[in-house]
Structure 1
Amino acid sequence: MAPMSNKATHPPDTPLYPIREVSRLTGVNSVTLRAWERRYGLIRPQRTPKGHRLYAQDDITRIERILQWLNRGVPVSQVGDLLDQPETVEPPAPASGDWESQRQQLQGTIESLDMARLDPLYHQSLALYPLSVAINELWQPVIMNLEAQWENKPDALVRRTLEAFLRNQVGIRLHHANQATRGPLILLNSMPDDPGPLWILMVALVASEHGYRVQMLDRNLPLEDLPQAVSRLHASIVLLTSGQSESDHYIHDLLPQAAKGLNVPVGVCGNVARLRENDFSSGDVHLLGNDLPQAISRLRPLLRESGIL
């Protein structure tokens, strides 16, 4: 890694920010900021006499540049060599990155049922990367690849083991996040042909990170029960997802009809949105896309447009 050019000390009159404020300003959680510092030396904040981190504006600018490289698909292990290069420098070719090796490692760990290894891989991925990057570059591609394999050669044991692991991890995260926010409540439901909750768990993670409260139903709730569920749970939006294309009757008839009977918006995201991107003509059903962080970012304008926010 190239030597760092930014200094750990700054002029006395430089404004300094605590880690919580830097996290709010940049959208990078404090766990990730500390991991970038300790593991890769990407940032070097000052310390108070009690050891608390303080960041200057050039640290914040550096964090923003790190995010730019990560969002261009560069693994965190390569970012240090690029930070001091001109902004016009092209990122390394995908073949020279380690995303593919990380995906292979994660998928191999899942398929070998090595749960002792899967736990640290999961937590490491969420510590080293903003959640949107971890989902887009690692977890979503692996889940899509596994589901494609399972179509031809089902492996119920691997699927259910992975589902149980993620249900536990995401459930813990949702429990604490729901208590810590007053954001709008998303009623998150799977579609009828989805064989398991892998997609809904990924959507729940991203939605929670964006400040929403999430009521996750990882088994399909029939469409006719949605009005009562929205009313009793005080949901602000219904979000549906699936790893399958779902039936024509469901997509063209049942879902639009159900959406008309609800007084909150209905959104569709995940792999079904990619597979059915040309099949949603009803204005009552909002196609949010297959890029999960981007799909969730589209909710707030939709809620404002509907008069809920």
Structure 2
Amino acid sequence: YHHQARGNTGPRILIAGLPREHHEIGLLLFALAAMESGYRVLSLGANMVLEELWEIARKTDSRAIVLSGAIEPGKQVLGKDLPALVEQSQVPVLVGGLSSVYSCDAINRAGAEALGRDIEHGMQRLSEILSSK
């Protein structure tokens, strides 16, 4: 999907896998759905450190950061890294996949949006959040 010339003109979104997350299928499926919806997608792949994502989002003029995972995020991610990313980011931070089901309350406490596992629902929430900004 990286090589498709789609001519999308919608908002750019930055997507990445949570730290220690090596499952990438959900991330790729979300990227495809986003592209089909007109978004410009910058995918960084699985197992990303959250610390510098806010700066990448700023430099690429991304309108949202979407994280994905299939495993329960660790205490460091939920208690420190994710809240720091939300605080430093000037854009919404959303978390999808099973990780967001396992840790929904902690993700919301961090100031991010837990999307759950359903890609269609995730796309709808992303659209709602971006249209309210």
Give TM-score, length-normalised by structure 2: 0.89
The 2-side partners of 1:253 and 1:283 are apart by 9
Cα displacement (A) at 1:281: 3.4
Residues 284, 238 of structure 1: alpha-carbon distance in 2 compared, 3 angstrom cutoff: same
- Please tell me whether the aligned partners of residues 50 and 82 of structure 2 are also in contact (alpha carbons under 8 angstroms): yes
Aligned to 1:235: 62
CA deviation digits over 1:152-208, x for unaligned, max 9?
Answer: xxxxxxxxxxxxxxxxxx334xx323xx21100010011012124222111111111
Whether 1:198 and 2:56 are equivalent positions in the alignment is no
1:249 to 76, 82, 98: 76
The 1-side partners of 2:104 and 2:8 are apart by 32
Aligned to 1:264: 91
Cα displacement (A) at 1:282: 2.4
Q: Which amino acid aligns with 1:229?
A: I
- Runs (4 or more) in structure 1 with deviation over 6 Å come to none
Cα displacement (A) at 1:283: 6.2
Cα displacement (A) at 1:301: 1.5
The 2-side partners of 1:230 and 1:277 are apart by 23
2:48 to 208, 212, 221: 221
Aligned to 1:171: 2
Whether 1:211 and 2:38 are equivalent positions in the alignment is yes
- Please tell me whether the aligned partners of residues 196 and 218 of structure 1 are also in contact (alpha carbons under 8 angstroms): no
Identical amino acids, percent of aligned pairs? 25
Structure with more helix by fraction = 1
2:116 to 277, 284, 289: 289
Secondary structure of the 1:280 match is helix
Secondary structure of the 1:183 match is coil
Q: Which amino acid aligns with 2:77?
A: Y
The 1-side partners of 2:122 and 2:105 are apart by 16
Structure with greater contact order relative to length (CA < 8 Å, sep ≥ 6): 2
Give TM-score, length-normalised by structure 1: 0.41
Secondary structure of the 1:171 match is coil
> What runs of 5+ residues in structure 2 fail to find an aligned partner?
none
**Which of the two has higher C-alpha Rg?**
1
The 2-side partners of 1:201 and 1:233 are apart by 20
What's the RMSD between the two structures over aligned residues?
1.6
The 1-side partners of 2:122 and 2:91 are apart by 17
User: Which shifted more, 259-268 or 201-210?
Assistant: 201-210
Aligned length: 133
Cα displacement (A) at 1:221: 3.3
The 2-side partners of 1:286 and 1:263 are apart by 14
The 2-side partners of 1:213 and 1:185 are apart by 4
The 2-side partners of 1:300 and 1:282 are apart by 22
Secondary structure of the 1:192 match is coil
